[in-house]
Structure 1
Amino acid sequence: MSTQQVSWTDSFSQAQNAIQSLTTILPAVPKPVIASENPALSLLNDPELAEQISNHIRQPDSGAGDNQLCRWLYDTFHTSKIDLQLVVLRFLPMIAGVYLSRIPLRKPLAGFEAVLLAIYAHETASRDGQAVTINISDASHPSVYHENNHPHKTASPELHLVVVSPTLEPQGTIRSTKRARIIGVALELYHSKIADMPVQSKLDFCEFCIIWAGQDDDVNDDEKEDDQKEKEGKTKKEKKEGRILLPWEMLQPMLRILSHCLVGINKNNKKNKELHEAACHACRSLYARALHDINPKAILAIGSLLKLIKYQQTDVDHTELPVTNVIHL
């Protein structure tokens, strides 16, 4: 009991210290955050504070090695308190999005890189040299849910080990050849905590997926109104400038996050329509990019998400057995 009390007090005081440090960086930390009885939760979920931090990250001079907000994010993540680490992960889409968009500009980005490396190092230590793997059944064995005219094999089906994320090597700097891997690992950690992420953080992620794709969503282009086309045309240049390489080691965790956003369910089991629509737009943009790049693996994976969208729109439960008056003998 005493150990839990000390741990809670320590976490509370560290969250309070983080808020006090933030008051020297931001114009005005919201009073509800300062006076909160659960400061870490307020840091994570307060929309006004999130907007201030996001605007700060988007500033032209953000991301440099001497940037105070980057230093705050780095120090906050290194507190090793899960609730405070969630606060940093909440802004990962914004950090990664702005960081990747500025790579071609040759600007100093040591501040962003320090935060990304801190997240990567945390995952490297957590995995302890082990790859992330899953077991899948041998597809050569018949499923128990389907009819089979051939006799069942008596031997139990063998499980095939599939590597989802390879072993991690320590990285002291972000080289161009390792950039996608480092950001991909950070996104994997974000996905593992996505149930705790506010909706706005996921919306930010969907926004940057569209920018990273750099490809217009032409699936329903004929159905769009003229004023909508004109509005979207203004952002076309931004998309093209934000277009980046999307290797599988980065695209795979992106699609996992988008699959969660497509379902659109938050911790209260309520569906968020805005998040669902943003994820749909992101999937279509990424699919157009995959077609443009002639990337078979990406086409197959994103195509599956588009089928999920189509099934959701039909509002049909495909697990229900069809009702019919015909009797088959």
Structure 2
Amino acid sequence: MSDTKAETAYKSLSSILTNTPPSSQNPASSLLYDPEISSQVSALLRHPNSGAGDDNLCRWLYDTFQSSDPQLQLVVVRFLPIIAGVYLSRVTLRKPLAGFEAVLLALYSHETTSRKGQSLTVNVPDLSHPSIYHESKASSKNNATDLNLAVISPSLEPHGTVRSTRRARIVGVALELYYSKIPQMPVGSKIEFCEFCQAWAGQDGDMRKDGNGGDEAINQKVGISKEGRIPLPWELLQPVLRILGHCLLGSNKKNRELYEAACCASRSLYARSLHDINPNAILATGSLVRLAKMGLDSQNDQVDHTEVPWTRVISL
């Protein structure tokens, strides 16, 4: 049944694109990873008239995600950076973007249903209680190790439309879904996300290169236009930073192009945070910039200090 849905989706997309490669034995995988298909879909999503209510590609993305097939849903999530990037950059132009909004609402509704009214939380150990790793100076009346609950993402309310007051939250939740699937996302999708982060920041970020060291290619001027600058409330910025953190420290760290794009995006967002004088954003983006610098230093340092030296001599 899943293969039938994938084949139907592939044939439907073929009628929208100008040229598609022959269908493979795994059409869902081709839709997700084929560079030719991704290039054509990306070009259509970036078209000046894309995102309207009668946009055939947006309708295909919406129907494909609503198919409830996990593999096909990944295909839609793969193009979320472009959808969110183009949508947020154009929303102030008062252009009809009902097609983009329908896709974003589908992703938001999916997350709302999946979470079942629960917020996303993490348990942070209470350091006032001693553990096997540390001793507590203050005496505790209760020997039990209490856990502090930190809310990463509050509970969601169902929304049928995208209003200006809800826009950042809806897009942010869609990006949280992207982050949860990011190990399965192709590198090209992550690079596109980093590029849009630079556009959203509206700051060059090149001001931070002095004293940071690193590769010359990373320190060169980005040259992003300020036309894409958007408001960055915390509910939107937080998932953005989590995705960038994965790009800096995740399994794809060996991909030089992705790593450089994530470094540039981090510096641009840091410059934007300094410009806005946003303490929370300054702390978070500054941490990403330092992580990027540490990553560059570790790449330049070829010595593995954890490796035990090998020798034929036995020391007593």
- The CA deviation string for residues 25-75 of structure 1, in whole angstroms up to 9 with x for no partner, is 1101122xx1x1111011000001000000000111110000000000000
Residue 67 of structure 2 is aligned with which of 79, 86, 91? 79
Cα distance in structure 1, aligned partners of 2:82 and 2:63: 18
Q: Is the 8 A contact 2:266 2:288 kept in 1?
A: yes
Q: Is the 8 A contact 2:104 2:171 kept in 1?
A: yes
Q: Is the 8 A contact 2:201 2:268 kept in 1?
A: yes
Tell me if 1:22 matches 2:28: no
Q: Is the 8 A contact 2:127 2:136 kept in 1?
A: no
Q: Is the 8 A contact 2:128 2:138 kept in 1?
A: no
- The CA deviation string for residues 271-306 of structure 1, in whole angstroms up to 9 with x for no partner, is 211111110100000000011111111111112222
2:314 counterpart residue number: none
2:279 counterpart residue number: 296
Tell me if 1:13 matches 2:1: no
Q: Which moved more, 1:293-302 or 1:190-199?
A: 293-302
What is the SS of the residue equivalent to 1:161? Answer: strand
Cα distance in structure 2, aligned partners of 1:292 and 1:319: 39
Distance 1:313 1:86, change over 3 A: same
Cα distance in structure 1, aligned partners of 2:140 and 2:151: 29
- With structure 2 as the length reference, what TM-score do the two structures score? 0.88
Q: Is the 8 A contact 1:258 1:283 kept in 2?
A: yes
Distance 1:152 1:170, change over 3 A: closer
Opposite residue 271 of structure 2, the aligned amino acid is: A
- The CA deviation string for residues 159-210 of structure 1, in whole angstroms up to 9 with x for no partner, is 0111111110000100000000000000000000000000000000000000
Q: Is the 8 A contact 2:101 2:162 kept in 1?
A: yes
- With structure 1 as the length reference, what TM-score do the two structures score? 0.85
Cα offset, 1:139, TM superposition = 2.7
2:228 counterpart residue number: 242
1:210 counterpart residue number: 198
- The CA deviation string for residues 104-161 of structure 1, in whole angstroms up to 9 with x for no partner, is 1111000000000000000001111111111111132356434666778771221011
User: Runs of 5+ in structure 2 lacking a partner?
Assistant: 308-316
Aligned residues: 300
Tell me if 1:121 matches 2:145: no
1:220 counterpart residue number: 209
Opposite residue 220 of structure 1, the aligned amino acid is: K
Q: Is the 8 A contact 1:206 1:279 kept in 2?
A: yes
User: Runs of 5+ in structure 1 lacking a partner?
Assistant: 1-9, 322-329
Cα distance in structure 2, aligned partners of 1:287 and 1:310: 13
Tell me if 1:281 matches 2:264: yes
Distance 1:259 1:319, change over 3 A: farther
Cα distance in structure 2, aligned partners of 1:25 and 1:209: 28
Cα distance in structure 1, aligned partners of 2:169 and 2:54: 25
What is the SS of the residue equivalent to 1:177? Answer: coil
Q: Is the 8 A contact 1:264 1:276 kept in 2?
A: no
Cα distance in structure 2, aligned partners of 1:159 and 1:50: 44
Residue 259 of structure 1 is aligned with which of 234, 238, 245? 245
Opposite residue 74 of structure 2, the aligned amino acid is: L
Cα distance in structure 1, aligned partners of 2:268 and 2:260: 12
Cα distance in structure 2, aligned partners of 1:156 and 1:174: 46
4+ runs deviating over 4 angstroms: 146-154, 221-225, 316-321
Distance 1:319 1:146, change over 3 A: farther
What is the SS of the residue equivalent to 2:77? Answer: helix
CA RMSD in angstroms comes to 2.5
Distance 1:150 1:120, change over 3 A: closer
